[in-house]
Structure 1
Amino acid sequence: MLASLSNNTIKQYDTCLKKWFAYCHQNNLNTYNTSVTNVLSFLTHIYNEGAKYGTLNSCRSALSLLLGQKIINNDFINRFLKGVFNLRPTLPKYNLTWDIDQVLNFIANWYPNEDLNLEKISKKLITLFALVTAHRAQTFSLIKAENITHNDSGFIIKIPDLIKTSRVGSQQPVLSLPYFSQRPEICPAKTLNVYLNKTRQLRQNTNSLFISFRKPHRSVCSQTLSRWVKNVLTSSGIDTNVFSAHSTRHAATSKALKLGVSLDSIRKTAGWSANSLVFAKYYNKLISNNVSSEIDFARNILS
């Protein structure tokens, strides 16, 4: 049952469960068999400590592991959380996003690719990955060199490892990096090809695509890749006090929709299910300055 949760989810739930155990101990309550009234009392206790809607909603999910859905999905608890949202509304981090042209034009100056040092081409490649695929850094950290294939159109990359959105019956992501001859300085396929050539001899004991640009050149984690992207955004003039590395997902998908890429292509490329409302609810942002398949998505982004 623990294996059904990611490590990050376990860490997130751990804080709430510790508070629940302490609350039950202080009030002589049964930790695993309790009433809706006691759960509401606990949530009110957390609320009075200053918790916002997101924290309380996370606590509800954590408690469902112990108490079951009948307790956690109770109408009174749902009503309580709706009241919390109205009293302490959770607002999106930002309502606008940046224009990807600003970043693409910046990294276009890092050319020709053959002349770039390992640090620059690593940061250029991961930024292009983030923009033309709209996937998370976690996905990129799982790319293995052996799962990369080349054809006349570009590179196809399979991700067999489980990612955040992996579900029973769901398809694993397949990333497409096309050739973009109109602007070779930002062509993702050409950049990947040069990166593979530069790192082939360095990647001795690891099969991961992205490796550290400093010795001993080990594989890098998703946090490192996010930091690389954030460095590029900062250098491009994007306000990274507001926008994180993950904002590339907002920026790319919002720009693709503006350019006329179909919602089906956006969902498929970014890894959302065909009927997912995630893009409409959370990712479709106005661009601050105001079709087809994964390859169409990428080429529209680069254009």
Structure 2
Amino acid sequence: MVRRGIPSVSIDIMMASFSSNTLNQYNSSLRSWWLYCKDNKLDFCDSNSTILLQYLTEKFNLGASYSTLNSHRSALSILLGQDVTCNDNTKRFFKGVYRLKPPLSKYNATWDPKLVLDYLSNYFPNDSLTLKNLSLKTITLLALASAQRMQTLSLIKIKNITFDSEKIIIKIDDLIKTSRPGIHQPLIVLPYIKENPKVCPAVTLKHYIDKTSFLRLQEEYIFISYQKPHKRVCSQTLSHWVKLILEQSGIDTKLYGAHSTRHASTSAAHRKGVNLEVIRKAAGWSESSHVFLKYYNKDVSTSTESEFVNAIFE
């Protein structure tokens, strides 16, 4: 960065623009580039688009996917600048990669949330459940009801949960994967499913908070381990909990992981006519995002915000 004219006193601030997950991902790409430069006696920090295209072509010929190559380009833009990584020649190269090896959806089909909800109906009444079963039930229902990533759900804090007679509202104030200037933070709305209390995410969440209140002590984040010493759990642990429920529900967990709850719930809501903008807002996609439409481009009818959850849990 210094060689690109960035003041050394500004580097720490600029590096703060990257999340820890992004930096971990970039480290792999930067190491790969460093080895390539070392083998070919090239300057690691100073290159041009010709050399970059040679490097990316070598990776492509070794089987790298479009997304992997794009990750390499994003990482190298830190070193080489966008004049090298995003010029006309590089853009044309990526258009060619897209046509030769188009990125595919991880799932060709999805599972019906009803399978999981029918299974979780057996986890009732909530006050009779062990802490483990209540924890697994709560995170799975919350994942389906919110269509949020596990990272986002792991950041829920007790102080940011608001209860009223009709619904529970959860604000997320920590930075997440999609946080950027001008973009609103997630707002999770859980209406009470009075017709189906056995799998009502709002009711289950209240029971979970009550049951863990004397265990969490000063812990501000809602999800804690069901084993002593009951410390906060990370997003990977929450994913493991959800995957256990999916497996017990008969879902093929060799194919579907915890993240598939996001795919399953938005697809179910779409099939039942929930407005596309409501789905986008619930899942945290921007108004211009085509992530959902790319795979589910069908007419939908007008719907209210609460109907996203109602469509899944009715």
TM-score range, shorter chain: over 0.9
Specify the alignment match of 1:247 in structure 2. Answer: 260
The verdict on how the C-alpha distance between 1:183 and 1:285 changes in structure 2, with shifts beyond 3 A counting, is farther
Distance 1:225 1:175 in 2: 17
Specify the alignment match of 1:22 in structure 2. Answer: 35
Q: TM-score, structure 2 length as denominator?
A: 0.90
The answer to whether the 8 A contact 2:273-2:303 is kept is: no
Specify the alignment match of 1:298 in structure 2. Answer: 309
The verdict on how the C-alpha distance between 1:159 and 1:183 changes in structure 2, with shifts beyond 3 A counting, is same
2:157 is equivalent to residue 149 of structure 1: no
The answer to whether the 8 A contact 1:133-1:294 is kept is: no
Specify the alignment match of 1:53 in structure 2. Answer: 66
- Structure 2 spans left out of the alignment, 5+ residues: 1-13
Partner of residue 4 from structure 1, selected from 12, 17, 32 = 17
Pairwise CA distance, 1:46: 2.3
Pairwise CA distance, 1:89: 4.0
The within-5 A match list for 1:101-140 is 101-140=114-153
Specify the alignment match of 2:199 in structure 1. Answer: 186
Q: Which has the higher contact order (CA 8 A, sep 6+)?
A: 1
The answer to whether the 8 A contact 1:13-1:62 is kept is: yes
The within-5 A match list for 1:56-67 is 56-67=69-80
Partner of residue 214 from structure 2, selected from 186, 193, 201 = 201
Q: Counterpart amino acid of 1:115?
A: S
The within-5 A match list for 1:250-261 is 250-261=263-274
Q: Counterpart amino acid of 1:138?
A: Q
Specify the alignment match of 1:163 in structure 2. Answer: 176
| Secondary structure in 2 matching 1:278 | coil
Pairwise CA distance, 1:273: 1.6
Pairwise CA distance, 1:293: 4.3
Q: Counterpart amino acid of 1:39?
A: L
Specify the alignment match of 2:248 in structure 1. Answer: 235
Distance 1:60 1:170 in 2: 25
Aligned residues: 298
Pairwise CA distance, 1:54: 2.1
* Per-residue deviation, residues 169-214 of structure 1 (Å, max 9, x unmatched): 1111111111111011011111111111111100113111111111
RMSD across aligned C-alpha pairs, in angstroms? Answer: 1.7
Q: Counterpart amino acid of 1:21?
A: W
Q: Counterpart amino acid of 2:48?
A: S
Percent identity between the aligned chains?
A: 52
| Secondary structure in 1 matching 2:293 | helix
Q: Counterpart amino acid of 1:166?
A: S
Distance 1:296 1:50 in 2: 43
Specify the alignment match of 1:80 in structure 2. Answer: 93
Q: Which moved more, 1:38-47 or 1:98-107?
A: 38-47
Distance 1:77 1:192 in 2: 49
The answer to whether the 8 A contact 2:278-2:308 is kept is: yes
Q: Counterpart amino acid of 2:33?
A: W
The answer to whether the 8 A contact 1:97-1:285 is kept is: no
Distance 1:166 1:147 in 2: 17
Q: Counterpart amino acid of 2:307?
A: D
The answer to whether the 8 A contact 2:193-2:200 is kept is: yes
Distance 1:36 1:275 in 2: 30
Q: Which moved more, 1:31-40 or 1:99-108?
A: 31-40
Distance 1:245 1:221 in 2: 14
2:49 is equivalent to residue 39 of structure 1: no
The answer to whether the 8 A contact 1:269-1:293 is kept is: no
Specify the alignment match of 2:82 in structure 1. Answer: 69
The answer to whether the 8 A contact 1:255-1:301 is kept is: yes
- Structure 1 spans left out of the alignment, 5+ residues: none
The verdict on how the C-alpha distance between 1:275 and 1:80 changes in structure 2, with shifts beyond 3 A counting, is closer
Specify the alignment match of 1:13 in structure 2. Answer: 26
